[in-house]
Amino acid sequence: MTAGEMLGRARKSAGVTVADLAQMTKIRASIIAAIERDDFDHCGGFVYARGQVRSMAVVLGVDPDPIIAQFEQQALMQPAEE
């Protein structure tokens, strides 16, 4: 399961909408939706994306460490931008 899938599942299990999560985390809804699709291109870079993933997990009440580990693994598999 990808980091985005893990976060989407946690959000749905918590009964939280994307709009609710955006309000709770101060992360734009469009960024949350992109993260749940594993599209990290609009997050402002690796460090920002990692922080946003962590914030989402914490607010949803799930352990952020496995999700961060999966995110980092996915990031390593991405081709380098030229």
Domains of the chain, CATH where assigned: 3-77 (1.10.260.40)
Q: What is the pTM of this model?
A: 0.89
Helical H runs in the chain? Answer: 3-13, 18-25, 29-36, 46-60, 64-77
Confidence at residue 27, expressed as pLDDT on a 0 to 100 scale: 97
Q: Are 56 and 7 in contact (CB under 8 A)?
A: yes
Q: Are 40 and 32 in contact (CB under 8 A)?
A: no
DSSP state of 22: H
pLDDT at 68 over 50: yes
pLDDT tens, residue by residue, 3-55: 999 999 999 999 999 999 999 999 999 999 999 999 998 888 889 999 999 99
Place of tokens 């939280």: 16
Confidence at residue 65, expressed as pLDDT on a 0 to 100 scale: 98
Confidence at residue 82, expressed as pLDDT on a 0 to 100 scale: 47
Q: State the Cα–Cα distance between residues 24 and 44, nearest whole angstrom.
A: 20
Q: State the Cα–Cα distance between residues 51 and 56, nearest whole angstrom.
A: 9
